[in-house]
Every structure is written in structure tokens, then in C-alpha cells.
């Protein structure tokens, strides 16, 4: 089966209801160590010791400098879903707190994590998060078996969620999707209190294009698509710059 990823969009109201939400289970613990020093020197020393420096901020409290073992962070990032996971942070000498990762800085050449930011949250806190999209049943998809091409417009969807109700990912079943049909954001039943950040149109997540590539309509719509990312306030990490 041919699988094509290209940035294009075709706004349509048709399409079957193929979405379901997979909710996060028990909130996982993440153990951190308080970091006494700040600045470039302390951050470099932490990295030499096999640690990744970071900061926990927000929640009406002062920022706290922390470290996390490099190997643990690297594995969690590799496993996927790290940026959309609500963690129970356990820091020595402090109360447990719920938080999400709001940024991972990486080495410009090695692409390895060099700094991490966590945002404290209350259970009712609202936050914008990018939730991954998982596509199911490509092998048995009606449209793909007829020679169509799966065009993925969005690998993830930015949603406004509550901290106590964060989807781990959303799934789209392609089995009954015909050539020319699309999966739109309106085809998903979101958890209560959750909504897409882009609210002014019924945007496309994916479609099955006819053999031979995207249509002229898709090409024109692709050129017109210009989503603006929602900026998130995070504290500057002058030690990393």
C-alpha cells in the first residue's frame, strides 16, 4: 500500500465517524532531583554527570531547578507520547505535583535532550496540547485496496484540554474509508471540556486520494493552508542559550 504524507487540506463535511478517544490511565510518577546551582556552569556539570537539567514552573509557585537522569529521559522520549502525558512529579523535599512537559531543548547536532521544562498544573487547569493521531487498518482499508493513497494532513491535533482529562492519543479507523473521503475534526467525539484550538473551520486530518496523487482541489487548498501555532509562555533557559 502506498502511504503519502503531504501538507494539504480539503475542507469537506462528509466522512464517516471513525474516531475514538483513548484516555490516559493512571498518572505515572516521574522522579526528579532538585538542582542547587543554576546557570551555564551548573548545567554543563549536570550533563557531565549523566543528567539533564531542567525547571519546574507555574502553578503560582517559584520555579524550581531540577535534573533527571539522561537515560531515563531518553527512553521516555523514544517511547513516544511524552509531551502529551500528565506526570506526577516527585521531587525530593517537595510535595508531589502534577505537571506536563512544555519543552525539550536538544543538541543542535546530536539531537539529544539538553534541557527540559515542566509546567505545574491543577486538575482543572486548561492547557493546549498536541495529541498524536494513530491510524488503524491501513492493510484492510477499502480505498487503499482500490489503489488510493493515504494522505496524512496532521500527525497530531492541538487540543485545549483539562489536566485531569488528557487523551493519550486519538485513533482513526481507515477500514471503511473510500477513495475521495476525508477524516475531519468534526468526526471525533472529544472528552467533555476538550476542544480543538483551531475552532473556525472543520479541518481535515487525513484523506484517501485517487491513484496518481492529490487532486487540483487538494493542491489549491494546500497552498491556502496557513495555520498559526498557538504560542505558549515558558520561562527562558538562559543557561542553555
pLDDT at 136: 86
Higher pLDDT, 212 or 23: 212
Q: Residue 183 forms beta bridges with which residues?
A: 206
Only one residue has cell 500527525, namely: 155
pLDDT tens column, 84-134: 788 889 998 888 888 989 899 999 999 999 999 999 987 778 888 888 888
Q: What angle do CA 111, 113, 116 make, to 5 degrees?
A: 140
The answer to whether the CB of 240 falls within 8 A of the CB of 189 is no
* Dist CA 229 CA 96 (whole Å): 31
Among the residue ranges 7-21, 129-143, 184-198, the one predicted with the least confidence is: 7-21
Is the pLDDT score of 40 beyond 90? no
pLDDT at 140: 92
Label residue 38 by pLDDT band (50, 70, 90). confident
Q: Alpha-carbon dihedral of residues 136, 141, 143, 144, nearest 10 degrees?
A: 80
Q: Residue 116 forms beta bridges with which residues?
A: 54, 104
| C-alpha cell of residue 139 | 492493510
The answer to whether the CB of 207 falls within 8 A of the CB of 151 is yes
Higher pLDDT, 74 or 1: 74
Amino acid at each position: 500500500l502506498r502511504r503519502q504524507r503531504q501538507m494539504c487540506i480539503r475542507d469537506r463535511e462528509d466522512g464517516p465517524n471513525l474516531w475514538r478517544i483513548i484516555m490516559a490511565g493512571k498518572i505515572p510518577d516521574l522522579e526528579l532531583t532538585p538542582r542547587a546551582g543554576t546557570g551555564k556552569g551548573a548545567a554543563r556539570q549536570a550533563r557531565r554527570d549523566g543528567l539533564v537539567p531542567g525547571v519546574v514552573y507555574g502553578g503560582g509557585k517559584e520555579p524550581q531547578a531540577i535534573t533527571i537522569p539522561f537515560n531515563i529521559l531518553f527512553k521516555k522520549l523514544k517511547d513516544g507520547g511524552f509531551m502529551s502525558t500528565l506526570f506526577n512529579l516527585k521531587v525530593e523535599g517537595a510535595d508531589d505535583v502534577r505537571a506536563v512537559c512544555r519543552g525539550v531543548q536538544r543538541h543542535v547536532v546530536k539531537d539529544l535532550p539538553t534541557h527540559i521544562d515542566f509546567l505545574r498544573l491543577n486538575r482543572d487547569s486548561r492547557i493546549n496540547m498536541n495529541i498524536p493521531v494513530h491510524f488503524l487498518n491501513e492493510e484492510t482499508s477499502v480505498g487503499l485496496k482500490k489503489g488510493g493513497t493515504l494522505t496524512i494532513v496532521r500527525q497530531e491535533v492541538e487540543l485545549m484540554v483539562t489536566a485531569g482529562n488528557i487523551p493519550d492519543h486519538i485513533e482513526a479507523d481507515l477500514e471503511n474509508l473510500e477513495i475521495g473521503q476525508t477524516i475531519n475534526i468534526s468526526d471525533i467525539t472529544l472528552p467533555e471540556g476538550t476542544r480543538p484550538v483551531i475552532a473556525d473551520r472543520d479541518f481535515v486530518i487525513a484523506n484517501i486520494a485517487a491513484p496518481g496523487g492529490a487532486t487540483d482541489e487538494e493542491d489549491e487548498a494546500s497552498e491556502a493552508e496557513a495555520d498559526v501555532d498557538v504560542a505558549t509562555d515558558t520561562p527562558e533557559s538562559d543557561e542553555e542559550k
